[in-house]
Structure 1
Amino acid sequence: MSTYHINIEGDVLKVKFDTPASGDQIVRDAAARLEELIESGEVKGGRLLKIDGPASLPVCYLIAHKVSHLYSAIAIFDPKIGRKGYKTFITAVSHSPAYKIGELIETDEPQKDKINPKVVICGPKQSGKSCLREGLKQAISNIEGAPYPYVITACPDGEGAWFSEAAQRDLELATRLKAEYKAKFTPEFAQKAAGWVRIANTTLNIIDVGGRITDENRVIMREATHAVILSGNKEKIPQWQEFCQSLGLRIVAIIHSDIKGKEDAIESELPMLTGTVHHLIRGEDVSGREMVQALAKVLVGLGK
C-alpha cells in the first residue's frame, strides 16, 4: 500500500498523503508512483502542469525533479490567495516566456468556502505543548480519512515542526539547533504569526503558541476558532479558560499534563474532553497515548 497518493486529472496533478509512514518511505513511494505515471504516458508533458494537494519538502523536490523537464511551466495551488471561492495556482517553475515565476493562475474550479478549524494549543510554559502537538500530528495521520493536520508554530522558541523527529534521532543536536533558532517574542512577530493563522485555509489547522497570557498571544489566538488547554499546573487552568473565552474561542479540551504520571486518564468527553496525559517528554513518540488518541478524534471531528 502506498503512503503517498498521486493522480493526474487533465493538467492537474492531484497529490495527498495516504498511509502514515516516515518521510523516507513517503518519498520512495511518491517516486515509484510518479515513474509509473510517466512510463504509462499519463504524465506526458505539455505547456502547464498544476499541482494540487499537500506535500512534504522532500516530496516537493522529488516532484520538481521528475516532471519539471516535461512541462513548460509548473504552478502550485495555494488556498490562501486568489478569488474567493475559486482555486488559484502560483507559477513556481517556468521554461517559457509565456509564464513568469510568481505569476498567479486563476481557475474556475470551485474551492470550498467554509471556516476550517484553527485549533490553538495553549497553556502555561513547560506543560508539553510542543510534544502534544507532534503526537497529535502523528495520531491524526493514523486515522483513516482524516485531513492533513497543518501545524503553525506561532512562538519564536526555535522549536518548529522539525524538532520532535530530530530529537528522537539526536536530542543533543536538536536542542542545540533550537537554541540557535530561538528569537524574541516581539509585537512584530505576533502580527506576522497572526497573519499565518488568519490565512490558514487547510481542512485542519493546529497552532502552537507561547506559554504566557500576553498581548502578543492575544493578537495571535484571536485569529483561531478553537482551543485546547494543556497545563502542568491545575491551578492555572481557570485563567487560561478565561483568556480563551475572552477571545471567543470554543474550548474543546482541558488536559492536565502530569510529567510524573504513568498512564493517561480520560475524565469526560462531553461537552469537552477532559483528563490527564502523562509524561510528555521531548524525543518520545506520544502519539499512542490514550489522551492523545482521544484528542485526535475530537479535532478530526471538528471538520465534519
Structure 2
Amino acid sequence: MTSYQINLEGDVLKVRFGQPANGDQVVRDAAARLDEMITLGELAGGKLLKIDGPASVAVSYLIAHKISHLYSAIAVFDPKIGRKGYKSFIVAVSHTPAYKIGELIETDEPQKDKINPKVVICGPSQSGKSCLREGLKQAISNIAGAPYPYVITACPDGEGAWYSEAAQRDLKLAQQLKAAYKAKFTPEFATKAANWVRNANTPLNIIEVGGRITNENRIIMREATHAVILSGKNDKIPEWQEFCESLGLRIVAIIHSDLEDKEDVIESESPVLTGKVHCLERGKDVSGREMVQMLAKVLVRLGSK
C-alpha cells in the first residue's frame, strides 16, 4: 500500500493519504502515481479537472506541477463553501476565459448524510491547545486507515496550523510571524469561524478555539458536535464542562495539561478519556505522547463510525 492514493473517477481526481509515512515519502509516492497515470493515458488532459480529497501543501504543489498544463482549468474541493449537502469546488488553475480563478463550481454530488464529528479543543489560555492540536494531527495521520484530520483554527491569535512546524525550526521567527498575524477576536470573526465549522463536512474535523468563555466562542462552538477540554488548572475544568454541556456538545476527553511533569497519565478511557498530558511546549513534537496517542484513537473511532 502506498502512502498517497490517487484515482480518476470521471472528471474528478480522488486523492487521499494511505499508509503512514514522512512528508518526503508521500511526495515521492504521489509523483510516481501521477507519472504512471499520465503514461497510461488516464490523465490525458481536457477542459476541467476537479480534485477531491486531502493533500499536504507539498503534494498540492506537486499535483499542480504535474498536471496543470494538461487541463484548461483545475478546481479543488472546499468543504466549507457552497450548497449545504453538496460538493463545491474552487477554480485554482485556469488557462481559459471559460473559468475564472476563484470561481465556485457547485455540483449535484451529495455529501454523506451522516453528521461528521466536529471536535472542539477548548479550555483556558496557556494550556497548550495549539500544541495538542498539532500533535493530534500528526498522531492521527500515522494511524493506518484513519480519516484525514481537517483542522480549523477558530481563534485569531496568529497561531495557525503552520506555527508548530515553524517553531520547531525557528522559534523566534515563528513568534514574530504570530505577532504580525494576530487579530482581534470580534463578533465578525466569530460569525465567519462559525460558518467554517458549520460547513465542515470531512469525516473528522478538529476545531481549536480561544481560551475564554465568551459569546464569540459560544457562537463558534455551538456548530460543533464534540469537545475535548484541556486545562492547565484543574479548578477551571468544571466551568468549561458546564459551557460545553450548555451547547449540547458531547465531551469525549478531559485532560489536565502539566508543563512541568515528565510523563502522561491515563486515568480512564471510557466513557470519557481523562488523565494528564505533560509538557505541551511550543516547538516540540508531542505526537508520541501516551495521552495524545490515546486521544487520537478516540477521535479516529468517531470519524470512522
TM-score (norm 2): 0.93
Gaps spanning 5+ residues in structure 1: where?
none
Determine what percentage of the aligned residue pairs are the same residue.
82
CA distance in 1, matches of 2:216, 2:84: 29
- Contact 2:122–2:208 at 8 Å: present in 1 too? yes
Aligned to 1:29: 29
Aligned to 2:123: 123
Are residues 1:146 and 2:146 paired? yes
- For 2:174, give the aligned amino acid: A
Gaps spanning 5+ residues in structure 2: where?
none
Are residues 1:239 and 2:239 paired? yes
Deviations 1:37-87 (A, max 9, x none): 112222111222221111123322221221121122222223344455443
Q: Mean alpha-carbon deviation: is it higher for 260-269 or for 17-26? A: 17-26
CA distance in 2, matches of 1:175, 1:102: 31
Q: Mean alpha-carbon deviation: is it higher for 287-296 or for 83-92? A: 83-92
- For 2:221, give the aligned amino acid: M
Q: Tell me how large the CA RMSD over aligned residues is.
A: 1.8
Deviation of 1:226 (Å)? 0.6
- Contact 2:51–2:77 at 8 Å: present in 1 too? yes
- For 1:168, give the aligned amino acid: Q
Q: Mean alpha-carbon deviation: is it higher for 49-58 or for 270-279? A: 49-58
Aligned to 1:52: 52
Are residues 1:79 and 2:76 paired? no
- For 2:66, give the aligned amino acid: K
CA distance in 1, matches of 2:178, 2:92: 30
Deviation of 1:266 (Å)? 0.8
Deviation of 1:195 (Å)? 1.4
- Contact 2:228–2:253 at 8 Å: present in 1 too? yes
Correspondence list, 1:194-233, <5 A? 194-233=194-233
CA distance in 1, matches of 2:178, 2:83: 38
Aligned to 1:156: 156
Q: Relative to structure 1, is the Cα distance of residues 20 and 166 closer, same or farther in structure 2, using a 3 angstrom cutoff?
A: farther
Deviations 1:8-52 (A, max 9, x none): 223221111223334343333322221121122221112222211
- For 1:152, give the aligned amino acid: I
CA distance in 1, matches of 2:280, 2:83: 42
Aligned to 1:260: 260
CA distance in 2, matches of 1:183, 1:110: 36
- Contact 1:84–1:113 at 8 Å: present in 2 too? no
CA distance in 2, matches of 1:114, 1:163: 32
Aligned to 2:19: 19
CA distance in 1, matches of 2:157, 2:100: 37
**SS of the counterpart of 2:245?**
helix
- Contact 2:124–2:236 at 8 Å: present in 1 too? yes
Q: Relative to structure 1, is the Cα distance of residues 180 and 81 closer, same or farther in structure 2, using a 3 angstrom cutoff?
A: closer
Q: Relative to structure 1, is the Cα distance of residues 280 and 11 closer, same or farther in structure 2, using a 3 angstrom cutoff?
A: same
- For 1:278, give the aligned amino acid: H
Q: Relative to structure 1, is the Cα distance of residues 155 and 103 closer, same or farther in structure 2, using a 3 angstrom cutoff?
A: closer
